[in-house]
Structure 1
Amino acid sequence: MKRILILEPNRYHFETIPGLCYYFDQLGYSIDCLVQKHDHYGDEFCYAKALKTKINYIFYEHSDMIRILSDMTTKSEYDYIVLNSFDYGLNGKIHSIYADIKDTAKSKYGIIGFYHSLSSYYDNQETDVELLNENRVFSLSPVSSGSVSFPMVNSYFFKDAANSSHDTNSRTIITIGTSNDDALLRKAASSVKDKSKEPTVIFVGYKTKKELFIAQIKRSIAAIISKVVKSYSTNKKPYPYFSLAFKKNMKLYGKVSFDTMFSLIEESDFISINLKSHLLDEFSTCRTTGSKQLALGFSKPAIIEERCASYYGFTSENSILYTEGHMDEAIQRACSMTNEEYSKMQRAMTALQGKIREESLSNLQNMLSAIESK
Structure 2
Amino acid sequence: MLRLLTMCIPFRNLRKKWRTFLRDFLSDYDRDARRSMRAWRRHPVAGRTILILEPNYCHGEVIPGFCRHLLDMGYRVDVLMHHSLARQSPLCCFKEGDIHIFTAMCTSWKRLAKARVLTRYEAILISTSAFYDIPGWASFLHMTGLDKFANLLAVEHELKDIPRFGEEELDRQGRLLTLGSFPRGMMVNPHFFGEIPPAPRNREPVFITVGSLSAQRKNHELLVEALETVCNEGYRNFSVIIVGEGELGKIPGHLRPFLHVAGKLDFPAMYEAMRRADYFLPLLDPGNPAHNRYITTGVTGSAQLVYGFAKIPVIHEKFASFYGFNDRNALLYREETLGGAMLRAIRQTEEEYAEMQQALLQLGRDIDRESRSNLERALAACSPSEPQQARP
Deviation at 1:39, TM superposition (A): 6.9
Match of 1:77 in 2: 120
* C-alpha distance after superposition, 1:178-211 (max 9, x if no partner): 312111112112212543454211122132xxx3
Match of 1:159 in 2: 194
Match of 2:137 in 1: 94
Instruction: State the secondary structure of the residue aligned to 1:252.
Output: strand
Counterpart-to-counterpart distance in 1, 2:116 and 2:58: 22
Match of 2:94 in 1: 49
2:258 to 230, 246, 249: 249
Match of 1:183 in 2: 221
* C-alpha distance after superposition, 1:65-102 (max 9, x if no partner): 2335532535x511111110011135434111111233
Q: Given the two structures, how large is their TM-score scaled by the length of structure 2?
A: 0.78
Give yes or no for the alignment of 1:7 onto 2:53: yes
Q: In 2, are the aligned partners of 1:197 and 1:336 still within 8 Å (CA)?
A: no
Superposed, which structure 2 residues align to 1:187-336 within 5 Å?
187-192=225-230, 194-196=233-235, 198-207=237-246, 211=247, 215=249, 218-219=250-251, 222-223=252-253, 246-276=255-285, 277-278=287-288, 279-323=290-334, 326-336=337-347
Q: In 1, are the aligned partners of 2:112 and 2:144 still within 8 Å (CA)?
A: no
Q: Which amino acid aligns with 1:151?
A: M
Q: Given the two structures, how large is their TM-score scaled by the length of structure 1?
A: 0.82
Q: In 2, are the aligned partners of 1:206 and 1:255 still within 8 Å (CA)?
A: yes
Deviation at 1:325, TM superposition (A): 7.6
Counterpart-to-counterpart distance in 1, 2:110 and 2:263: 32
CA change 1:33–1:66 in 2 (3 A) is farther
Match of 1:234 in 2: none
Q: In 2, are the aligned partners of 1:273 and 1:305 still within 8 Å (CA)?
A: no
Counterpart-to-counterpart distance in 2, 1:42 and 1:54: 18
Gaps in structure 2 of 5+ consecutive residues: 1-46, 386-392
Q: In 2, are the aligned partners of 1:139 and 1:152 still within 8 Å (CA)?
A: yes
Q: Which amino acid aligns with 1:37?
A: H
Deviation at 1:159, TM superposition (A): 1.0
Deviation at 1:45, TM superposition (A): 2.2
Counterpart-to-counterpart distance in 2, 1:181 and 1:324: 17
Instruction: State the secondary structure of the residue aligned to 1:59.
Output: strand
Q: In 2, are the aligned partners of 1:197 and 1:335 still within 8 Å (CA)?
A: no
Count of residue pairs brought into register by the alignment = 332
Counterpart-to-counterpart distance in 1, 2:181 and 2:99: 27
Gaps in structure 1 of 5+ consecutive residues: 224-241
Once superposed, what is the RMSD of the aligned Cα atoms?
2.3
Q: In 2, are the aligned partners of 1:165 and 1:346 still within 8 Å (CA)?
A: no
Counterpart-to-counterpart distance in 2, 1:185 and 1:103: 43
Q: In 1, are the aligned partners of 2:174 and 2:186 still within 8 Å (CA)?
A: no
- Equivalent pairs: percent with the same residue? 28
Counterpart-to-counterpart distance in 2, 1:104 and 1:129: 12
CA change 1:91–1:43 in 2 (3 A) is closer
Match of 2:74 in 1: 28
Instruction: State the secondary structure of the residue aligned to 2:162.
Output: helix
Match of 1:58 in 2: 102
Counterpart-to-counterpart distance in 1, 2:194 and 2:299: 20
Counterpart-to-counterpart distance in 2, 1:118 and 1:67: 27
Instruction: State the secondary structure of the residue aligned to 1:206.
Output: coil
CA change 1:30–1:70 in 2 (3 A) is farther
CA change 1:293–1:300 in 2 (3 A) is same
Q: In 2, are the aligned partners of 1:70 and 1:104 still within 8 Å (CA)?
A: no
Counterpart-to-counterpart distance in 1, 2:307 and 2:337: 24
Counterpart-to-counterpart distance in 2, 1:286 and 1:262: 27
Counterpart-to-counterpart distance in 1, 2:334 and 2:116: 50
Moved more, 317-326 or 181-190: 317-326
